[in-house]
Chain A
Amino acid sequence: NAGVTQTPKFQVLKTGQSMTLQCAQDMNHEYMSWYRQDPGMGLRLIHYSVGAGITDQGEVPNGYNVSRSTTEDFPLRLLSAAPSQTSVYFCASSYETSSSGANVLTFGAGSRLTVL
C-alpha cells in the first residue's frame, strides 16, 4: 500500500516555464488536495477535489491549475512559473471531508520547487 505518491521530489524551473506535479493515491480516497508550505506561513490550500470530475479553489489558487479525471490522480499544473511559486508542495488525501468525523489527511512526501 503506497499511500500518497508525489513526483518529482525536487525540481528547478526558470521563470515562465510550465510543469506538472504528479500526485497519486491508492487508498480509494474521494478527497484530494494540494498545499504549499512556506517558512513562517504554514500550509496553505491551493486547490482541492471532492471526487472525480470535481475541483475547486482553495486559499491561493492563482497560477495553478488542477484536474481530477480519475479517483487516483490529482496533478497540479504551473502554467508560467514565477519566483513567488518557489515552495514545498504537498498533496494530501482523505476518505471525505463533508462530515465532522476525523477524516485524517494523509500527505505525500512533498515536492520542493525552485523557480529562478
Chain B
Amino acid sequence: GQNIDQPTEMTATEGAIVQINCTYQTSGFNGLFWYQQHAGEAPTFLSYNVLDGLEEKGRFSSFLSRSKGYSYLLLKELQMKDSASYLCAVRGGDYKLSFGAGTTVTVRA
C-alpha cells in the first residue's frame, strides 16, 4: 500500500510564502502530483514531478527528492483565492494514483 503524509492545516498572510510538505512511502514510483481543491469543488491539477528537482509554474513551484520520499509545494505571493486544500498524490509502481488527506491553506488579509 501507499503511505502519504502532509500537514492538515496551514495559515499564512496575503503576499507571503507558504511551503506544504509531503512525504511518501510507496511500492514503486511513477510520478508525484499536486492538486488544488477549493471547498465544494473538484480537484484541479497544479504540478507534476517525476525527476528530482524543482518545477516552477508562475507563483507555484514543486520540488521532488525521490531518495528521501519527499516533495513540497511552494506558493509565493499568496492571494486570498489561494485559500484551498492542496492534495499530494503519488503514482506507484502499479500506476494507480494514491492521494494524501490534503492540506487546508487559509490565507488571511
Interface residues, chain A, with chain B CB atoms under 8 Å away: 35, 40-45, 48, 58-59, 90, 97-100, 102, 104-110
Contacts and interface: CB of A to CB of B under 8 A. Distances in A.
Given A100-B31, A102-B48, A107-B43, A40 B95 contact: no
Contacts of B96: 45, 48, 58, 97
Given A42-B100, A90-B43, 10 more contacts: A40-B8, A41-B101, A42-B99, A42-B101, A43-B43, A43-B89, A43-B99, A97-B95, A107-B42, A109-B42
A24 to B, nearest CB: 15
Most chain B C-beta atoms within 10 Å of own C-beta, residue among A40, A98, A104, A108: A104
Interface residues on B, range: 20 to 34
Contacts of B43: 43, 90, 105, 107
Interface of B: 1, 4, 8, 30-31, 33, 41-45, 48, 50, 87, 89, 91, 95-102
Contact of A42 (B30, B50, B95, B102): B102
Nearest to A45: B96
Most chain A C-beta atoms within 10 Å of own C-beta, residue among B31, B89, B97, B101: B97
Contact of B41 (A44, A45, A104, A109): A109
B66 to A, nearest CB: 12
Contacts of A48: 96
Contacts of A44: 99
Contact of A107 (B4, B30, B44): B44
B101 A40 contact: yes
Nearest to A109: B42
Most chain B C-beta atoms within 10 Å of own C-beta, residue among A59, A105, A109, A110: A105
B93 to A, nearest CB: 11
